[in-house]
Amino acid sequence: MTWHLWMWTERADIFAMAAYGSPYLVAARGDLVSLAAAYTVPVSWGPVESLQFYNDFGYVRKPAKDFADSYMNVTGIGVAAGHLYTYIDFAAGKNHSWLGGNFADDFAGGNPEARWEARFNINIGYYF
């Protein structure tokens, strides 16, 4: 599989990257639109100091012929309690390698018939 993906990178309209121990293809050209909004509310709920409500939207327009555009939207809340930070969010995407679909080439050619796929995520971190 890796050799096959490497052979695809001989094309000028895509290149290979890797994450999670696996390669995936990305469009070599594109326009990225990103819009993010967040609002933090200070609270005093025991150890909880603040809540941050956020929404992050991203869109990649791929100008290459027959490439399908990629989308992502993440809506969530961040909870701060001392050194402990917890992010709880809902992420949805279309032609997005990390949100379902085809990991190998969603960020490259993608699929014009792709459907929106989603996941629920909880990330807990202790920062010192």
DSSP state of 7: H
Q: Which residues contact 22 (CB under 8 A, 6 or more apart)?
A: 103
The beta-carbon contacts of 66-71 under 8 Å, at least 24 apart in sequence, are: 66/109, 66/112, 67/13, 67/27, 67/108, 67/109, 67/110, 68/95, 68/109, 68/110, 68/111, 68/112, 68/114, 69/95, 69/110, 70/94, 70/95, 70/96, 70/106, 70/107, 70/110, 71/95, 71/96, 71/116
List the pLDDT tens digit at each of the 128 positions of the chain: 344 444 445 678 888 888 878 888 889 899 999 999 999 999 999 999 999 999 999 999 999 889 999 999 999 999 999 999 999 999 999 999 888 878 888 889 999 999 999 999 999 999 98
Residue 27, phi-psi category: left (phi > 0), alpha (psi -120 to 50), beta (remainder): beta
